[in-house]
Structure 1
């Protein structure tokens, strides 16, 4: 099971590390290895959230997520995205941006750093909406009940998450963006940039998330009608055609996963510049990390881990909320990537530990129940 799920990740790791040695010796090997670990630590919560969505998809679309999705994640977000950001913010054509990335690493890093407020605002707002929609939903299973119960009641107010997100964006633009951190330690006013990028992140979430929910609901309705049609056809001996809408639903869920992955990758791409300016080594290291995140997502789905450890999804969403806050704060202040990664790991580890305690408690209660039943049987037999 492990080899089947992580086989491609092991292969890409071997190829990436060998390529690093061929490019610049053992120093490059160490850089790529560090970047891989950095990406995995920063994106573990991404894997947990992805698994919650991916388990609703068919094995075919899970395979698409591991193949086409990986190409988008590795080449799109870890290699092309930084170049596109530089091209847009520096008003360069794509060819000049690629040339800059390959031949002037210091200038390239400067331009990406200067574009950080826009990146952080877009990603921060997208992730914040995911967190808010999660905590405002009334769920049967609650992890931190003293927080989640009152928030679930507040969640009955229409558009509350959007209103809170816009307030957070406005405060970020007024406080953080008015004195945004830039390359070389200087600070400039980026309020307008942050507002526009943040609104863009919010709109992206509403469009992609809305389409995903719409087609998922349509799929459930069609599946129910299909089941009724199958029952009728079985009685009459007629064949029933498959539901074509499943492809649309799966496609938009896949699209949602890719945008979600893109938002998670922002901090990893920016943080990678603390390790190296070399765009090739960066793509190798972050690409290896992205492969493991993909494989871990599928592993969680196939093992049913989210069903066994019911608080894991809660912990991952709290980690998303923390990451959103960190991204917005980094518009003005520098925060070490170690703190970013550790925050997510601690929250997920805490939720895992809480899940284990819950499972042990339920098992103990079932054991007591069985013992009481056995005792009652013996008593009645006497």
Structure 2
């Protein structure tokens, strides 16, 4: 299982390290390895959340996530996304932005001798808008989770009251909009207030649109959630009935999204992954401004391993074994959303971001282990009592 799931990631990582060595020697190899480790450490909560979505997808869409999805993650978010920001915010042609990226100013300066800004400086200047978009997307994801009334709670002292409050329709959107207004008013630079507000609104709209579409098509899927059989024969064509090999548990057809439902879940997963990658892409520039090394480290190493971890969690049924893992991941998302929004004005070290996520995930796993042990002792006591 481990070799099958992680084998390709190991091979791709070795190839990326070799390419980094040929490109920049030992320095390039070291920087590429550091960036890969940074991405994996920052994105474990991303893998857990991805797994919760991937469990609802057929094997066909899981394969799409590992093939087409990795191309989007590597080349779209880790290479083209920073270049696109420079194109837009710097008013440069794509070729000029790439030339700027490949030819940084001497001695690591922020500007060239003629006073023009470097690629890194332009990207960092756009950080408030990036943070607002990603922060609002992740904040809505977190709020929709904690404001849901769930039978299973982890931090019950706060999750149960929040679940009760969540009975108020659209409360998550109301809270998110209030947070955005406060951030734009008190944390945004004066010359970026309007763009931060617009970027935050776009992040919220993106979440609501993609999440709404995926939910809509899941409800309409034939045979799933009471969907109509007239929704189209193509919707069921992508169904993989052998879901037991996918999750390690008995298949449950109402949890598997196919056709249009699977496509919108795939789209939701890609936008979610993009939102998670914002802090890693921006943080990478504290290590190196070289876009080639960033793509190799964050994309070919980091993104590949995050996807392998996601698949491993699904096929091992880890979310079922560790009952609070999903809760911990969502609290880590909430912390990341807050950090992204605060970073509009306050510089937050990437190590802090990574440690916060690891702390929530570790605490949730420890709580799950304790709960499983308590259940085991209760079963043993019950069986022992039954024999007397």
Q: Shared topology, TM-score over 0.5?
A: yes
1:341 to 2:354 alignment? yes
How far did residue 243 of structure 1 move? Answer: 3.0
Distance 1:203 1:97 in 2: 29
More deviation, 289-298/188-197: 188-197
* 2:373 is the alignment partner of 1:360: yes
Question: Do the aligned residues in 2 keep the contact of 1:223 with 1:243 (CA within 8 Å)?
Answer: no
Structure number with bigger Rg: 1
Question: Match for residue 232 of structure 1?
Answer: none
CA contact (8 A) 1:222 1:243 kept: no
Pick closer, same or farther for the CA change 1:23–1:148 going to 2, 3 Å.
same
- What residue number does 1:292 align with? 305
- Say if 2:254 is the partner of 1:243: no
Per-residue CA deviations over 1:94-141 (Å, capped at 9, x if unaligned) read 221112111236500000000000000000000000000000001111
Structure-1 separation of matches of 2:57 and 2:349: 36
Report the counterpart of residue 26 of structure 1 in structure 2. Answer: 26
Contact 2:184 2:193 (C-alpha < 8 Å) held by counterparts: yes
Match for residue 263 of structure 1? 275
- Superposition deviation, residue 242 in structure 1: 7.6
Give unmatched runs, 5+ long, in structure 1: 179-187, 228-239, 376-382
Shift of 1:223: 7.1
Q: Which runs of 5+ in 2 are unaligned?
A: 111-117, 239-257
- Which residue is equivalent to 2:242? none
Residues in 2 aligned to 1:214 and 1:220: alpha-carbon distance in whole angstroms? 12
User: What is the DSSP-based 3-state SS (H/G/I as helix, E as strand, rest coil) of the residue aligned with 1:111?
Assistant: helix
Aligned to 2:265: 253
C-alpha separation between the residues in 1 aligned to 2:218 and 2:153?
A: 24
**C-alpha distance in structure 1 between counterparts of 2:194 and 2:5, whole Å:** 45
Is 2:188 the partner of 1:153?
Answer: no
2:254 maps to: none
Return closer, same or farther for 1:223/1:203 CA change in 2, 3 Å cut-off: closer
Which residue matches 2:151?
Answer: 140
Question: In 2 relative to 1, CA 225–263 (structure 1 residues): closer, same or farther, beyond 3 Å?
Answer: closer
Deviating more after overlay: 104-113 vs 342-351: 104-113
CA shift, 1:217, in A, is 1.6
1: CA distance between counterparts of 2:368 and 2:228? Answer: 37
1:172 to 154, 175, 183: 183
Offset of residue 193 of structure 1:
1.1
Residue in 2 that maps onto 1:331? 344
Residues 340, 241 of structure 1: alpha-carbon distance in 2 compared, 3 angstrom cutoff: closer
Q: Residue 277 of structure 1 aligns with which residue? A: 289
Q: Once structures 1 and 2 are overlaid, which stretch shifts more, 314-323 or 89-98?
A: 89-98
Q: CA contact under 8 A between 1:226 and 1:243: conserved in structure 2?
A: no
Q: Decide whether the 8 Å contact of 2:221 with 2:227 is kept in 1.
A: no
Name which of 313, 321, 326 aligns with 1:308.
Answer: 321
Is residue 116 of structure 2 the alignment partner of residue 114 of structure 1? no
Using the alignment, how far apart are the partners of 1:189 and 1:336 within structure 2?
Answer: 24
**8 A Cα contact 2:130 2:278, kept in partner:** yes
Q: Tell me the equivalent position of 1:80.
A: 80
Contact persistence 1:176–1:332 (CA under 8 A):
yes
Alpha-carbon distance in 1 for matches of 2:235, 2:58: 14
Contact conserved, 2:235 with 2:259, CA < 8 A, in 1?
no
Q: 1:344 to 1:173 in 2, by over 3 A?
A: same
CA distance in 1, matches of 2:217, 2:185: 38
Secondary structure in structure 2 of the residue aligned to 1:190: helix
Task: Report if aligned partners of 2:220, 2:227 keep a CA contact under 8 Å in 1.
Answer: no
Which is richer in helix?
1
How many aligned positions are there? Answer: 354
Aligned equivalents of 1:276 and 1:23: distance in 2?
14
Of the three residues 203, 206, 211, the one matched with 1:201 is 203
Alpha-carbon deviations, 1:41-84, whole Å to 9, x = none? 11110000000000111111111101110000011000000000
In structure 2, the CA distance between the partners of 1:294 and 1:114, relative to structure 1 (3 Å rule), is: same
Cα distance in 2 between the residues matched to 1:8 and 1:26: 24
Q: In structure 2, what is the Cα distance between the partners aligned to 1:241 and 1:159?
A: 33
